[in-house]
Chains A and B, each alone.
Chain A
Amino acid sequence: MCQFKIMWDIIVNATPQLIVAGLKYTIPISIVSFLLGLILALITALVRLSTKKGPFRIFKAIFRFYVWLFRSTPLLVQLFIVYFGLPYLKIAGIAPDGIKLTPLVAGIITFSLNTGAYCSETIRASILSIPKGQWEAAYSMGMTRSKALSRIILPQAVRVSLPPLANSFIGLVKDTSLAASITIVEMFEVSQQIAAENYQPLIMYCLVAALYAVACSLLSWLQGYLEKITSRYITNVD
């Protein structure tokens, strides 16, 4: 019984600190990075799907390289390069003393670029999944490519892309724990600090895991809700 009492006290004491760290860092970093990542992903997907020829192909190559780069290297290494590495990148005229970023800025930039690379493929696939006949019907009535995209294709692609985008968002929430390694005192970092004081790593890490699970469960619920409202036009689906 005594053990449960100790455990309970630890949980009661630590949880508020963890929640504060979550509200201060984990959640804002996740939301801001995901929104920036989504914008970047949409731009990347549209550039890569563009039918423009000529010099525009250089843009396509640049965005293809970007996706390759961020999908082919570990997120932790990317964080280290941006936060610890860039201060040593000295560019005469622009950044003679190297590019020094605060931990939070470095974190958000890296998470945005990383999630943007993955989400761009999701969005690209969802656009490609819309039947050719939809483009043709839009073109047939005299729509431009951008009008067909914004009015006909993207509204349908949103529905298709929701489950995999939710995957990426949930993944990102958990990946923000890596921000601990670039000195951001987010939820996981706080749990480590408390564990170092009270010598209860099992309880502390299980507790922080549970808090991540709560956050991600809320997102799963949000995903279900969004799927429901974007699938209004589909019948015969329960």
Chain B
Amino acid sequence: MLKLEKLNKRFGEHHALVDITTTFPEHQTTVILGPSGSGKSTLLRSLNLLERPESGKYFFDDDVFDFAKGISVKDTLNIRKQTEMVFQGYNLFPHLTVLKNIMEGPVQVLHRPKAEVEREAHTLLAKVGLADKADVYPNQLSGGQAQRVAIARSLAMQPKYILLDEPTSALDPELELEVLKVLKQISTEKRSMIIVTHNMAFAREVADKIIFIEDGHILFDGPNERFFKTDNKRIADFISAMTFANI
């Protein structure tokens, strides 16, 4: 179980996250929604410690970390091994083939035997529909393919949580669909996922839990069904804008 308590993050004058307290249940898909600049990516990146909030507590299973006191290098590496990030811009390693991209973490970070990791990597590639791309370099892939490789790369680390930061924002609708299908399949396997997205239809489809953030504050934190039936005026407006209801 991942839990945050009174998380605060500032970028200079800008208070990006204000007293964020929430939980990310295991074996569920949590979707973080909100307008651009609301702090949702900062929140997600804080979970992987790519951002360091100034204060707040971070609960990971039985461990508690206090951002105000700082988190040691050892703890940081440990947390990161268990929370894999999938980025909007894929961030595949361009100098490694698709297969080596997937194997890099398990072999170099988890020090698992190469042969075993390679077998798993092939299985993962098949799972994301790219079995034939193992020996190709990333820049020969389409955006949709690259993002599916990035998803396979994150799965290869067998993390407790997969964090996806607007994974389909850079893709056209057809390629987006390829990626969403893969994500939907993963979500049905009851993995723990946290997704930042702008795609409302997808959120509605896969989310167990939804968090809505605006100006660094959580405006909604609850189950999927309740979010789409909310009477909160601001959230209702957001949903209707995002689904082009009143175009």
Contact = CB atoms under 8 A, between A and B. Distances in A.
B89 interface: yes
B202 interface: no
Interface stretch (A6-14, A97-105, A131-139, A170-178): A131-139
Interface string B155-173: 0010000000000000000
A140 B81 CA distance: 7
A159 B94 CA distance: 12
B195 interface: no
A234 interface: yes
B137 to A, nearest CB: 4
B109 A136 contact: no
B91 interface: yes
Contacts of B138: 233
B94 A156 contact: yes
Contacts of A27: none
A139 B84 contact: no
Contacts of A140: 48, 50, 80, 83-85
Given A134-B91, A136-B87, A142 B78 contact: yes
Q: Size class of A's contact patch? A: 20 to 34
A231 to B, nearest CB: 10
Contact of A142 (B80, B87, B92, B137): B80
B140 A142 contact: no
A152 interface: yes
A28 interface: no
A90 interface: no
Contacts of A151: 104, 108
A147 interface: yes
Main secondary structure of the interface of A (DSSP, over half): helix
A233 B91 contact: no
B25 interface: no
A155 B108 CA distance: 15
A130 to B, nearest CB: 10
Contacts of B92: 137
Contacts of B96: 233
A139 B91 contact: no
Interface in B130-160: 137-140, 153, 157
B93 interface: yes
Contacts of A133: 87, 89, 91
Interface of B: 48, 50, 73, 77-78, 80-81, 83-85, 87, 89, 91-96, 104-105, 108-109, 137-140, 153, 157
21 contacts: A133-B89, A133-B91, A136-B85, A137-B93, A140-B80, A140-B85, A141-B80, A141-B84, A141-B153, A142-B77, A142-B80, A142-B81, A142-B157, A143-B105, A144-B73, A156-B95, A159-B95, A233-B94, A234-B94, A234-B139, A235-B139
Interface of A: 131, 133-134, 136-144, 147, 151-152, 155-156, 159, 232-236
Given A155-B95, A235-B137, 5 more contacts: A136-B50, A142-B78, A144-B73, A156-B94, A233-B138
